[in-house]
Amino acid sequence: MIKKYLVKIFFVFLMLAIAWALFLLGGGKVKEKSSQANVFQPAGDVRLPQSIDEEYFPIRDWSVDDPDVIARSAVVVNFDKENGKDRVLFQKNSKEVLPIASLTKVMTAMIALDNFSLDEKIKVSHDSVMTLGNKGGLIRGEELSVESLLYIMLIESSNDAAMALARDGRIPYNDFISFMNQKVVDLGLENTSFIDPAGLDPLNQSTAMEFAFLVKQALNYPLIWDIFKIKETEVFSTDNKFIHSIVNTNKLLGKISLFRGGKTGYTNEAGECMMTLADVSASFSNNFLITIVLGSQDREEETEKLINWARKAYLWQ
């Protein structure tokens, strides 16, 4: 009798062992419906659900590597002016305080536009003409409109023109510089400061991130951007006695599609600096790429690289 029960028990254990072996051969896992469907796609075309809300764009395409940037500091910011939203697409040491050289002239232009009328006349002083640098070819005693000085300053990066705007107009020089720094305070920038209107002093400084924010504010001054996109032009003194043929220092004009211009800068302390604005694509209006490069050895090459990278490394709908 006992032998009969032992045989039955053995048979039960044998069935259990066979069932366990079959389970292991089948993979050893109970298949479940994945909650991560469509998150990881096979190699090939990137496929996105058609119902993704606009607020999630741009979407990073991680098949495109981050750019190799040699500049000491850089940032690329996507700014959608229509809804006021911005997003940092790339940054390198973007909060490091550095000299910004002639990028200073963006703020100089903003203060001039805040305080002068475009047709207001300014007589260029000897001190302004003697400012370091010979861009613009200003002549002592000649009279130019504020608008003409803005053209000379922003296109050819004339230090003389920057000084004439700040020193030779009806606003005292120290007050002009104070207005520049007060605007910094008004904008809530904590690491930006100005000593002169041309950017010659290394204490004209900012961070790539803060200057990108300043550029956003500069978009409220359309004349600045109208000037930035001009390759070359002629500017006349108010009596038409003197003609200034000026050429833009920005070598990227005409080289990059949908490019709205920008400002270059250089001093020994700052190295090569560049600020640019470009459209994301022809499909979007008022949707921009703001690029800041500080302490570069080749500002144009690195800026072009960053713009092209941003357009390729993100899906824009």
Q: Is 91 a domain residue?
A: yes
Span 70-128, pLDDT tens digits: 999 999 999 999 888 999 999 999 999 999 999 999 999 999 999 999 999 999 999 99
pLDDT of residue 40: 30
Span 213-272, pLDDT tens digits: 999 999 999 999 999 999 999 999 999 999 999 999 999 999 999 999 999 999 999 999
Is the omega angle on the peptide bond into residue 58 within 30 degrees of 0, that is, cis?
A: yes
Q: Is 13 a domain residue?
A: no
Burial of 100 (0-12, 13-18, 19+ CB in 10 A): buried
Q: Is 41 a domain residue?
A: no
* pLDDT above 60 (res 7): no
Phi, psi of 78 (to 5 degrees): -90, 120
Q: Across residues 177-203, what is the average pLDDT?
A: 98
Most confident of 50-59, 65-74, 277-286: 65-74
Buried b (16+ CB within 10 A) or exposed e, 129-153: bebeeebbbbeeebbbbbbbbbbbb
Q: Is 33 a domain residue?
A: no
* pLDDT above 80 (res 14): no
Q: Is 43 a domain residue?
A: no
Q: What is the CATH number of the domain that holds 190?
A: 3.40.710.10
* pLDDT above 60 (res 205): yes
pLDDT of residue 284: 82
Domain range for 184: 54-315
Q: Is 14 a domain residue?
A: no
Number of domains the chain contains: 1
pTM of the model: 0.83
Burial of 46 (0-12, 13-18, 19+ CB in 10 A): exposed
Token look-up 């419906």 returns: 33
240: Cβ–Cβ under 8 A, 6 or more apart, which residues?
A: none
